[in-house]
Structure 1
């Protein structure tokens, strides 16, 4: 007789939406000529209690290794998807990217991009943030 009311996001639904947004972003970036290297690269917490994840790692045509954070919002409220990439989130992405780069024999030119998906609109922000000087 009564519908069950759930407050908050269902984790499985949120995860599925996130995976869908990442796939949309990947499809978009591939159409721009980028090649996938890794997806959902995760680094567990270490001694500094920091962990991190990079949604997508791709090669650009010019040889730049691109670390991409994908953000999606159903509505453009509160500044939209791009505004949700906080400084704390940037630090986690940078930490994971640094760990990824340590495994390479040679460090290529790198860039941190954001793909912001607001509803049906996809926006690719190249060079969205940089590594702070203390790194």
Structure 2
């Protein structure tokens, strides 16, 4: 449900979905979208509250590395995007399905942060 809400939020802001839940042996990509000419790999995280660090804190170094490795796999599988500008975004949902608070962090991390 959180992923559906994140996707609706992003498409309402002009992003176009390319793929959802792309799985590779090294990790999974929640949402892959186009934002203009920029390829966006969006990590969706949901927490009921900010207790214990909230949704942003759950995207740790290990998770960022998995996302980056999965993005490399996706780009190899989709060579037409090989020269595209890429960005890793985080879509953070706090609360419950009836009352999400959504925060969109564009450029939450970059490849260079991971390797």
Check 1:134–1:126 CA distance in 2 against 1; reply closer, same or farther (3 A cut): closer
| 8 A Cα contact 2:42 2:90, kept in partner | yes
- The TM-score, its normalising length taken from structure 1, stands at 0.77
Counterpart for residue 130 of structure 1: 110
Q: What is the CA RMSD across the aligned residues, in angstroms?
A: 1.4
Residue 37 (structure 1) aligned with residue 18 (structure 2):
yes
Structure of higher RCO (CA pairs closer than 8 Å, 6+ residues apart):
2
Unaligned runs of 5+ in 2: none
Normalising by structure 2, what TM-score?
A: 0.89
- CA drift at 1:134: 7.5
**Structure 1 residues 70 and 134, CA gap change in structure 2 (3 angstroms):** closer
Cα separation, partners in 2 of 1:93 and 1:134, compared to 1, 3 Å: closer
1:15 aligned partner: none
Q: Distance in 2 between matches of 1:78 and 1:60?
A: 32
**Equivalent residues of 2:68, 2:114 under 8 A apart:** no
| 1:100 match: secondary structure | helix
Larger Rg computed on CA atoms: 1
Conserved? CA contact 1:101–1:107, under 8 Å: no
Runs of 4+ aligned structure 1 residues displaced above 6 Å come to none
Is the Cα–Cα contact under 8 Å of residues 90 and 129 in structure 1 kept in the other structure?
yes
Aligned residue number for residue 9 of structure 1:
none
Q: Deviations over 1:32-80 (max 9, x none)?
A: 0000000000102xxxxxx11100000002x000000000001111221
Task: Name the SS of the counterpart of 1:89 in structure 2.
Answer: helix
* Runs of at least 5 residues in structure 1 that lack an aligned partner in the other structure: 1-19, 45-50
In 1: Cα distance, 2:53 partner to 2:65 partner: 20
Q: Which of 19, 33, 43 is residue 58 of structure 1 equivalent to?
A: 33
